[in-house]
Amino acid sequence: MWQPPPSLGYTNYTGPTVQTHRALETYDILYLIFEYLANADENVGSERIFRHWLANAARVSHSFSEPAMTILWRKLGDIGALFRIFSSVTRECIPDSNRFTHYFRGDIYADEWRRFKTYAGWIREASYDHYFGRVDQSVIVAVANLNNSEPLLPSLRVLHWRHCSPNEIQIPFLLAPPHIQTLDIAFGLDNTSERIDGIREPRLDALLGMMAVRTPVLEHFQLLGFLDPSLLLSVRNLSKVRSMSIAFHDLIPFFDTPTLHALCQMDSLVSLELQFRLSVNTKLSELYFPRLESLHVNCKAPELARLLHAMSAPRLTNLSVKAKIHNVAHPCQDITHAAKIRFGRSLRTFKLVINDSCRSWGGNRSALFDIIRPLLDLRDMLKLELSVNTAQYNMNDMQIEVIAQSWPFLEDLSIVVPPLTVLVTGITLDSLVHFATHCPNLSSLELQGLTPTLTLDFVAQRLRPHNLASLYIRGPDMQSWTRGKAQQVAGMLYGLFPNLALFPPPRAGYELSGKWKQVMKAYAGIRGEPFPDIESD
């Protein structure tokens, strides 16, 4: 028997009964609306307004309540709000401080318990700050006992634990279910010997042991604090962890070889972020990471080169290193040479940030092009970002042409001049032609330290327009540019790159200069687009 197809606004006839089309169900419509609002708040920065609107909507009727509250409680910024559902939880000031904590001072009532269970079941991501929004662990333990030691947040996927005390390592396991995916723990900032000694006791080892048993499918683990690396040996048992980050508050300790080998034994590790130091007496054997694809390292430059030379990661595609250097004469190209030798076949993106911690300007500095040179053999390079304040920025247009020819698949290039760096550069605006000619896939380009020389604008008219979307240039002589110069540069840019964004974000925290805004205003005029009024600097 023929039946009309269901459509929005009509009923679906299925014999003697009539059913409303699912698209008209109130819960589904409201859930989609509230979910859109909750996701949009991250982009427009109106989280407080949207959450207030959702809370009001939830009070209107039962139809609004469930979908609104489901969205509202999905991500909980302060876990204390959940426990304050109990009227017997009272806030008390901590003596000699402006902080407070919460304690139980009474019984748990049945209606409050039902409400707690309902709200707790909605939470997917939660944060708790032991220092600022403190709930005494006795409160969490008491509620967990009432729940027969079952996880209090059965749907939790992500837990952020801030200013954690080493005496509270059991708390995350009272909250999180076995299928939690992300655990982010930051131990307290207190520098007292009591706190440091407490963390150096085998509690960290116990934490990792509990994680191996209680969170068998954990994929992302972040650890921050005063830690003894020798207690990290148990990480080898976190067989499902794909992403791991280890960082320290202040004094970075020395890692020994067994700890580094324990990281190698994490079977599923794909991404590793590591802050460490190596003793000159530490002998490194080969560190083999069979699945590692992304590595972020923060240490001193000589130690970094040693680590990279000892590593083997056949799948590594993304390498990001940040190093401090005390001797500006240290050959920074040791780092890029090690990256080429050890990861050259697989490496696609590379970020190198080197800072001179003592801010000395003497010594025989490495030339920036010499630092880049070992990477030129990596023909499949897709993204490169360099910020080295110990280097001599003395490249020229010919070297820029070599770079463009060496990386035909390049998509993103950023050469940033750190603050207080002395510029001795021969790069001109004409060098942009080389990228337009040899890098057809380039979408983002940032070059700082350019001189305003411009002679090849006639060449730009003969080139095929390039699809570069983001461009930012900055040079010491731009302050002297006139409006005529800005118009000339804009004309060249439009001939080369007709699809540029008018406000490309600089990566190193610099504000766009007024001169560059003048160029982009002229560029917008050529393209026939409006541009807001600006003040030139």
Q: How would residue 348 be classed by pLDDT, with cut points 50, 70 and 90?
A: very high
161 contacts 185 by C-beta, under 8 angstroms: yes
User: How far apart (Å, rounded) are the C-alpha atoms in residues 455 and 459?
Assistant: 9
pLDDT digits (tens, 9 = 90+) for 173-213: 999 999 999 999 988 765 433 444 444 444 788 888 889 99
Amino acid 326: pLDDT:
67
In 3-state terms, what secondary structure has residue 463?
A: coil
User: How far apart (Å, rounded) are the C-alpha atoms in residues 263 and 267?
Assistant: 9
Q: Give the tokens for residue 9.
A: 């606004």
Angle at 264 between CA 261 and CA 266, to 5 degrees: 125
Neighbours of 164 (CB within 10 A): 23
Decide if pLDDT at 110 tops 80. yes
Neighbours of 149 (CB within 10 A): 11
Decide if pLDDT at 1 tops 80. no
Q: How would residue 462 be classed by pLDDT, with cut points 50, 70 and 90?
A: low
Mean predicted confidence (pLDDT) in 441-451: 79
User: How far apart (Å, rounded) are the C-alpha atoms in residues 441 and 439?
Assistant: 6
Decide if pLDDT at 424 tops 60. no
Amino acid 397: pLDDT:
84
Percent of the residues in the chain that have a pLDDT greater than 70, as a whole number:
70
Per the model's pLDDT, the better-predicted residue between 422 and 251 turns out to be 251
Mean predicted confidence (pLDDT) in 62-69: 68
Q: How would residue 37 be classed by pLDDT, with cut points 50, 70 and 90?
A: low
User: How far apart (Å, rounded) are the C-alpha atoms in residues 86 and 97?
Assistant: 25
Decide if pLDDT at 296 tops 70. yes
514 contacts 478 by C-beta, under 8 angstroms: no
Mean predicted confidence (pLDDT) in 289-312: 90
Per the model's pLDDT, the better-predicted residue between 89 and 266 turns out to be 266
Decide if pLDDT at 461 tops 60. no
Decide if pLDDT at 216 tops 80. yes
User: How far apart (Å, rounded) are the C-alpha atoms in residues 519 and 407?
Assistant: 28
Neighbours of 321 (CB within 10 A): 23
Least confident of 158-167, 339-348, 453-462, 521-530: 453-462
What is the β-pairing status of strands 243-247 and 287-288?
Answer: unpaired
Q: Rounded to 5, what percent of the chain is helix, strand, coil?
A: 40, 20, 40
Least confident of 98-107, 109-118, 168-177, 295-304: 98-107
In 3-state terms, what secondary structure has residue 507?
A: coil
Cross-strand pairs, 160: 127, 184
Q: Give the tokens for residue 77.
A: 């910024």
Mean predicted confidence (pLDDT) in 268-297: 90
Amino acid 60: pLDDT:
63
What does residue 90 show for φ and ψ, rounded to 5 degrees? -115, 150
Mean predicted confidence (pLDDT) in 151-161: 93
The CA–CA distances, whole Å, from 484 to 126, 323, 448 equal: 55, 42, 21
User: How far apart (Å, rounded) are the C-alpha atoms in residues 512 and 257?
Assistant: 45
The CA–CA distances, whole Å, from 526 to 469, 491, 498 equal: 16, 7, 10
Neighbours of 18 (CB within 10 A): 9
Per the model's pLDDT, the better-predicted residue between 266 and 515 turns out to be 266
Tell me what the pLDDT averaged over the chain comes to: 77
Q: What is the chain's length?
A: 537
Amino acid 77: pLDDT:
80
User: How far apart (Å, rounded) are the C-alpha atoms in residues 166 and 202?
Assistant: 10
Q: Distance between alpha carbon 99 and the CA centroid of its chain, in Å? A: 30
User: How far apart (Å, rounded) are the C-alpha atoms in residues 511 and 502?
Assistant: 14
User: How far apart (Å, rounded) are the C-alpha atoms in residues 336 and 368?
Assistant: 11
